Amino acid sequence: MEEAVTTVDGNVDELSASELLRSVEATNSLPFVTMRKHKKSNKDHNRADVAGHSTNVSSGADVLVGADVPGATQAYGGKGGGFVRARGGSFVLNGSPFLFNGFNAYWMMNVATDPSERLKVSQVLQDAANAGLSVCRTWAFADGGDKALQISPGAYDERVFQGLDFVVAEAKKYGLRLILSFVNNYKDFGGRTQYVEWARSSGVQVTSDDDFYTNPIVKNYYKNHIQRVITRVNTITRIAYRDERTIMAWELINEPRCQTDYSGRTVNGWVQEMASFVKSLDRHHLLEIGMEGFYGDTMPERKQINPGYQVGTDFISNNLIREIDFATIHAYPDQWMSTQNDDSQMAFMQNWMSSHYQDSRTILKKPLIVAEFGKSSKDPNFNTIKRDSYLNAVYRNIYMEARSGGTVGGGLVWQLMADGMSSYGDGYEIVLSDNPSTDSIISQQSHAMSTLSHVLRLGPNNVPGSHPGEVEFDHSKNLFKGIKVGSLEVEISRPQFADDALIIQHQESRRFGLHGKKCVLQSVVEVLEVVFMH
């Protein structure tokens, strides 16, 4: 969306209402207004036409309208210092709603093991932050094999651990939060196969990889790894991982599956034991399982939502465990339904997401993250337009569910990489600098979710109603004194949502106007934000 700018002289590039609405509907991009005090202008009223509606600006303010206003990411910054919490069906940060857009980058520790390659980690984190992404999911495991973190049970390579230290420190530097996974279901980077093999090599009687969930020796190996990660003190930040606010959550296992028990009960017992163990070591951080979302025996009627098969997990019973703070789903219709066309795959995706949204809201009563999704370049007839269309559809689904008061907190696209990392590619990789259209779609979703977070901070309902919102402005102190939206009134004595900005939003707003000392927000298009920069 192009910017409409009111200059000191009052010149305006107009943005038509139809253009604005098309952008909102097609891209999730939300219109916003940034007001900056202009010290050199003595004009009492500059006048701009925003989306076809009158905008009066006093005190010579600059008005910027668009999806890509310079400095907007900083104004929205989600870099608060608290731990992310789960409260009811929502994520909260420092007591306020926390919605986000994020990504996967499983490879970070592995790459950071070599100090000469760490620039790749820094580049992706910087690019992600520039795109407004605020959560990254990555591996905190590498069991056996090349560049192993855990060489053998209880034996660790300090060089690799320092690679993970670097990832945590860099995420902190760029204001991102991490979800760290403890083990893989698959053989990549060792996984539960390696744990079972370690036990077999030491003389333990095991029969299959599924003994990972039940054998006491194997389970103790895994618990030891959990303890080593959680209690580690970062060699760069000097902060223990369990006290590190940059870490949003722990994940028990990437995509658990169990072929010997499709009901989900075996995995359920393991989750209960391991979740209790994690919480005994760390009460600060959130915990999730790492599930794809497959249904099991708890609700037999839900099995028809699965893509034609079960994997030994039960989305309902597994996530009802008290120590599990939020649920996850993954979505790969291009893999799960590879013989079906794009329309059928998208229909499955919509149904998959809708079903889990409903269950997380009405049964689990816990937040939900769409923790993996993407479109592979290995798919038949792949092109960037198809990927962008798919991502945009998923993003809009996430946004609309969050906007309606649902439990979804955000999505994590699979996966971001830097240039020169073809050996880590799986077809789903995205290099933002090489894919400007995809970068734009991701950035727009980041802005939409961040904006919605701020809107929800104004009150319990994300649609306050048709009552106008009034903001009183004290010119003598250059401060907004208060916000009133319907029956909700908030007194303000200093900027709140960012160090240098006060953000005022009102859902469903049609017009923004400054009339003397009053800012009036009236009924509207999507979300109108006002940022007063000191």
Catalytic residues: 255, 372
> Cα–Cα distance between 533 and 35 in angstroms, integer?
7
> Cα–Cα distance between 139 and 504 in angstroms, integer?
38
C-alpha closest to that of 131 among 411, 433, 451, 377? 433
CB 282 within 8 A of CB 242: yes
Q: What's the length of the chain?
A: 534
> Which backbone phi and psi does 270 adopt, to 5 degrees?
-65, -45
> Cα–Cα distance between 150 and 480 in angstroms, integer?
55
3-state DSSP assignment of residue 236: coil
CA atoms within 13 A on the CB side of 34: 24
C-alpha closest to that of 272 among 319, 216, 215? 319
Supply the DSSP string of 65-97, one letter for each residue.
Answer: ESS--TTHHHHH----SS-EEEETTEEEETTEE
Residue holding tokens 């950035």?
A: 443
- Helix ranges (H only) for 232-366 are 265-281, 315-320, 333-336, 342-359
The secondary element (H helix, E strand) that includes residue 47 is strand 45-50
Supply the DSSP string of 116-162, one letter for each residue.
Answer: GGHHHHHHHHHHHHHTT--EEEEE---BSSTT-SEEETTEE-HHHHH
| End-to-end Cα separation, the chain, in angstroms | 26
| Peptide bond connecting 415 to the previous residue in cis, omega within 30 degrees of 0 | yes
SS3 for 6-43, per residue? ECCCCCCCCECHHHHHHHHHHHCCCCCEEEECCCCCCC
